[in-house]
Structure 1
Amino acid sequence: MEILPHDLQEYLDGHCDPEPECLQTINRETYLKVLRPHMLSGHYQGRVLSFLSKMMQPRRILEIGTFTGYATICLAEGLTDDGIIHTIEVNRELEEMLNSHFKLTSVEKKIKLHFGEALNIVPDLEEDNFDVVFIDADKKNNFNYFQLVLNKVRSGGLIIIDNVLWKGKVYGPENDVDTKLIRELNDQISVNKSVEKLILPIRDGLLVIRKK
């Protein structure tokens, strides 16, 4: 789901860097082979994630929610030469596809893939000084993930949470459970004094948080 009008989104897509060939392949395969392919970050959001990562020049990235690896690869583009991205995916059935997708790239050796529940995996990670965290998993746990990673992010580091505009429902009259949870997430983070934050109206909404 994209919040912006289709014509505007097409214009934006046409005026950013082109989608790398390996990501074009992953995009096509995702739409051909995977349920709910709209969960893919896609061209424009992928270039935004890559841009932010390159600005941060991170040594350590944490991603919660790998899906088919599109955003993982975009984030990994900004890693330092000795950088690593730890990415966590709950669905083990995606393992073969993910490994094949990562082999298409120049960043394969910088990706460390974990399978299981992020709430169980993150506390056991030896890393505790992440430069960037990207959260794009089950929405009911978004605030739990935020609380879990906040102390693992360095001062000046970024936490990025996807889907915070929730198909436009968060600023509409809807009151279903998922919409309420996203609203609560946005409201709780908006008053958190330990971070700076803003929502970018990109695709389904990116909440970009900078730890003070």
Structure 2
Amino acid sequence: MADLVLPDIEAYAAACSLPETPVRRNLREETERTMEFARMLVGPLEGAFLSMMTRLVQAQRVLEIGMFTGYSALCFAEALPDQGRVMTCEVDEESAAVARRFFAQSPHGGKIDIRMGPALETMANLTGPFEVIFIDADKINYVNYYRRAMELLSPRGVILIDNVLWDGDVLLNPPPDDRTAAIQELNRVVAADSRVTAVLATIRDGVWVISPKPSREPS
């Protein structure tokens, strides 16, 4: 992943933000040491951002599309009240096995429900509302995930979508590959969606922050 933000600046911001819990730190370190695609971790700073957004909307239910080894799922679970729940979708059993092991070590792990299988199939059978929906899975389906997420989102909720700057490759025209083209399409769709208010935040590799507009705009 390209350093779109200087590493020293990101480390400073992380140090000033919500602290990383010991379970998450151990999970991050093992993932970085043992997993081939460890860069898929959201990391401490983005993890703090996810936790903060969960608290801000006073979420009870979180839907995560793409769990990997479970770091972000723990960020959500730690921020939820005791009765809160995280439903997280994953297709890779090796990653899920790591996540399960660390969920068992966390006092918040019991809040997390792992759904194995293609996320679009899982989403098709879900009933909302969810106050937070986090999309961080295969990029080709990003627009499909977004459209279904809008159907499942609480009116007071927020959709968060990761990797929407894609190492800066979103600036390339023509796009170098199908994944870049899919992210560019998502960014166009979100920016043009009159139903939402959205900000593309330059956190790590880019995060969309999307919330539904109220049914009546204030005068």
Range into which the TM-score falls when normalised by the shorter chain: over 0.9
The answer for the alignment partner of 2:44 in structure 1 is 43
Q: Is the 8 Å Cα contact of residues 132 and 157 (structure 2) preserved in structure 1?
A: yes
- What is the aligned partner in structure 2 of residue 26 from structure 1? 27
- 1:198 is paired with a residue of what secondary structure? strand
Within 5 A, what are the aligned runs for 1:33-182? 33-125=34-126, 127-173=127-173, 175-176=175-176, 177-182=178-183
Deviation by residue 1:54-106 (Cα, 9 ceiling, x = unmatched): 11121111000000000001011222321111000011223321111101212
SS of 1:209's partner is strand
- Aligned residues: CA RMSD: 1.3
User: C-alpha displacement at 1:173, in angstroms?
Assistant: 4.6
Matches within 5 A, 1:169-208: 169-173=169-173, 175-176=175-176, 177-208=178-209
Q: Which amino acid aligns with 1:13?
A: A
User: Retained in 2: the 8 A contact 1:87–1:114?
Assistant: yes
1:71 maps to a residue whose letter is S
Q: Is the 8 A contact 1:59 1:131 kept in 2?
A: yes
Aligned equivalents of 1:142, 1:118: Cα separation in 2: 11
Tell me how far apart the structure 1 counterparts of residues 209 and 16 of structure 2 sit (CA, whole Å): 22
Of 74-83 and 198-207, more deviation after overlay is shown by: 74-83
Aligned residue identity for 2:33: L
> After TM superposition, where is structure 1 displaced by more than 6 Å over at least 4 residues in a row?
none
Deviations 1:121-145 (CA, angstroms, capped at 9, x unpaired): 11112x3111110000000101100
- Give deviations 1:130-163, integer Å, cap 9, x for gaps: 1110000000101100111211111121110000
- Aligned-pair distance for 1:7? 2.2
Aligned length: 211
Greater shift in the superposed pair: 163-172 or 198-207: 163-172
Question: Any conservation in 1 of the 2:70–2:96 contact (CA below 8 Å)?
Answer: no
Identity of aligned residues (%): 35
Change in Cα spacing, 1:194 to 1:6, as seen in structure 2 (3 Å) is same
Question: Residue 17 of structure 1: CA displacement?
Answer: 2.7
Look up the match of 1:4: 5
Q: Which runs of 5+ in 2 are unaligned?
A: 214-219
C-alpha distance in structure 2 between counterparts of 1:13 and 1:154, whole Å: 29
How far is the alpha carbon of 1:174 from its aligned partner? 5.7
3-state SS of 1:85 partner: strand
Secondary structure (helix, strand or coil) at the match of 1:151 reads helix
**More deviation, 101-110/130-139:** 101-110
TM-score (structure 1 length as normaliser): 0.95
* TM-score calculated relative to the size of structure 2: 0.92
Q: Cα deviations across residues 184-205 of structure 1 (Å, max 9, x unaligned)?
A: 1101110101111001101100
Query: Is the partner of 2:79 in helix, strand or coil?
Result: coil
1:18 to partner: Cα distance: 2.4
